Structure 1
Amino acid sequence: MRVVSLVPSLTEAVAVTLPGVLVGATEWCTHPAGLDVARIGGTKNPDVPAIVALRPDLVLANEEENRAPDLAALRAAGIEVLVTEVRELPQAIRELDRALRACGASARPRWLDEAETAWLRLPPLQGRLRAVVPIWRRPWMVLGRATFAGDLLARLGVDNVYADHAERYPRVPLDELRGTRPDLVVLPDEPYRFTPDDGPEAFEAPAVLVSGRHLTWYGPSLGEAAGVLATALGR
């Protein structure tokens, strides 16, 4: 089996579960460390001819992270493309299982079972918090409706202020963000790399810096994400 992954989460999942199956991945596929495969561009601008030249049996993609024209071009070249859709934790578990089996796994890997258990066994919550979750600045963009990260936060007792917005990643003026008077502001380090000196100063509410990999990736990091995020958020 020869697999090319266009999604960092899926790259890590396949590499950990089925060593040797991956032959290509994007430049953004940073885990596991030291992954030695052909690099075929970014998630939004993959090098389609380079992927075709790798002769993959399967390309893994995601409906949000990858562009439909690129996936159509791969299919037109005769390559099978599996596209995942992940907007909540149970869906992530199912889609990971589906993708890994398509890559040759005979059963769900142990790490996936452990990740599911870690989220099911979260301790009882003491109250709920309202949060704004920026993902970009210049312009400011935030998590909106039906996002995987928003679902994880809700499971930790942190409700996204913009969870009912018409858009999934709306642009919102900074004054409006401040005007929502959230209990906290959650700042991940990807896709925009918020840091102690770049982001928190824009808000009066307490700001919490979190790992984007733990908040937005659905893969082996899910196993530790529940504990890491709960600690960071004071839950």
Structure 2
Amino acid sequence: MDYIDQTGHKITLTVTPTRIISLVPSQTELLYYLDILPIGQTIFCVHPSDKYAKSTKIGGTKKLQLDKIKRLNPDLIIGNKEENQKEQIEELRKTCNVWLSDIHTISDSNNMISSIGDLVNRQDTAQKLINQISIGFKNVLQSNTTISVLYLIWRKPYMAAGRDTFIQDVLHHCGYLNSIEQEDSRYPELTNEQIATLNPMEVLLSSEPYPFKDEHMQELQKTLPEAKISLVDGELFSWYGPRLLKTIRYLNAKKSSL
């Protein structure tokens, strides 16, 4: 059967794949959620934590161990357009079936869940997960108010999640208004002066890729004395798939304090 991935690439599978390698943490977690045990995953695929130690590691998301991957003889490799390197994906495609996601929105994430459910013959479980995510975010949005927010992912220089990013779509689904969504760059650099001019009501400091700490909250509070500044688990805003269930629970708990 032919399958078209989210980049428009076609792969052909004659049987349901059983030797699957995942190149992306979010999608590794999805495979386990669907009761599929991958034969290889990256060093960053840390969830579920109880499976990590015994899993076979095949390098990082952008530094894959191509020879090791080929020796594992997978019948399917699942990756992501943004998180993996184009050159390495092209090399793997010479000998392996590679299915790529391309995710900018929660809708894209749900489509990815559905597609992987089809690939591994777990359609019912995948659809139940999609329903939980869709209903969960609908309830969060209905009970929240619009708040201007700045979501920072890096320091020195400050960098924020902007337009056409998965993080922004999650923020929108939470009832937040991204204060830099009109910027041309997806991840613009910002000075303290620019941040002060934006004057968001709330600033979210992500735990990844930059590990913001308490002292960074105090640093920014001097620039934005009236803003509410919080440290947040970056996985809850940037991981797609089943991690979004935890995002919904987090937001439901958080909204009561706003």
Q: After TM superposition, is the score higher than 0.5?
A: yes
* d(CA) in 2 for partners of 1:209, 1:116: 26
Cα contact 1:74–1:81 (8 A) shared by 2: yes
Aligned length: 233
Give the TM-score of the pair, scaled to structure 2.
0.84
One-letter identity of the residue aligned with 2:203: V
3-state SS, counterpart of residue 247 of structure 2? helix
> What CA distance in whole angstroms lies between the structure 1 residues aligned with 2:141 and 2:186?
29
Stretches of 4+ aligned residues off by more than 4 angstroms? none
State the shift of 1:126 in Å.
Answer: 5.2
Confirm whether residue 96 of structure 1 aligns to residue 113 of structure 2. yes
Which of 24, 28, 34 is the matching residue for 1:11? 28
Kept after mapping to 1: 8 A contact 2:141/2:175:
no
Q: Which residue of 2 aligns with 1:30?
A: 46
TM-score, normalised to structure 1's length?
0.91
Q: Please identify which structure carries the higher helix content.
A: 2
Q: Distance in 1 between matches of 2:218 and 2:88?
A: 36
Q: Deviations over 1:146-171 (max 9, x none)?
A: 11111111121111111122111122
Tell me how far 1:221 sits from its aligned partner: 1.7
User: Which blocks of at least 5 consecutive residues in structure 2 are unaligned?
Assistant: 1-17
Q: Percent identity?
A: 27
Distance 1:179 1:230 in 2: 30
- Structure exhibiting the larger radius of gyration computed from Cα positions: 2
* AA of the residue aligned to 1:228: Y
- Aligned partners of 1:11 and 1:25 also within 8 Å: yes
Deviation at 1:55, TM superposition (A): 0.8
Equivalent residues in 2 for 1:1-235, closer than 5 Å: 1-20=18-37, 22-35=38-51, 36-76=54-94, 78-109=95-126, 110-122=128-140, 124-125=142-143, 127-203=145-221, 204=224, 205-232=227-254, 234=257
User: How far, CA to CA, are the matches of 2:76 and 2:218 in structure 1?
Assistant: 42
RMSD of Structure 2 on Structure 1 (CA): 1.8
Structure 2 CA distance, aligned partners of 1:43 and 1:125? 37
> Unaligned 5+ residue runs, structure 1?
none
CA contact (8 A) 1:115 1:224 kept: no
Cα shift at 1:199: 4.3
Deviations 1:7-59 (A, max 9, x none): 11000000121333x01111111100122321111111111111111111111
